[in-house]
Amino acid sequence: MINMKNMKSIKQTEIDQGIIGITTVGERGQIVIPKNIRDQLKIKKGYQFMTILHSDGLLLVNPSAVKKLSERLLDEVNKVNKNLKK
């Protein structure tokens, strides 16, 4: 599982982490993100998430955060590969 706290682009002071509230799944499978979270993350109508199924539940992630993490991981893999070739 990706530990989002370690990403440099997300600062603890910007987003209070932890249990913020409880939401209920509606008749059509929709969930409501609490307003205080929408405000903190600047989530507006049309905002898209990647949905990732995990054994413990469902994870909603901003696709650009996944892209940034992927780029950082690729950079680290390239560094390791470069050192292994020496």
For residue 15, the model assigns a pLDDT of: 52
User: What is the per-residue pLDDT across 52-68, written as a single tens digit (0 to 9) for each?
Assistant: 898 888 888 888 888 99
Q: pLDDT, tens digit, for every residue of 40-52? A: 888 999 999 999 8
> In the Cβ-directed half-sphere of 46, how many Cα atoms lie within 13 Å?
0
pTM: 0.55
Looking at the DSSP assignment, which residues form a beta bridge with residue 58?
A: 53
**Per-domain boundaries in the chain:** 10-85
CATH topology of domain 10-85: Pemi-like Protein 1; Chain: D (2.10.260)
What average pLDDT does the chain have?
Answer: 80
Residue 60 pairs with which residues in a beta bridge? Answer: 51
Pair 63, 48: CB distance under 8 Å: yes
Q: Are 61 and 68 in contact (CB under 8 A)?
A: no
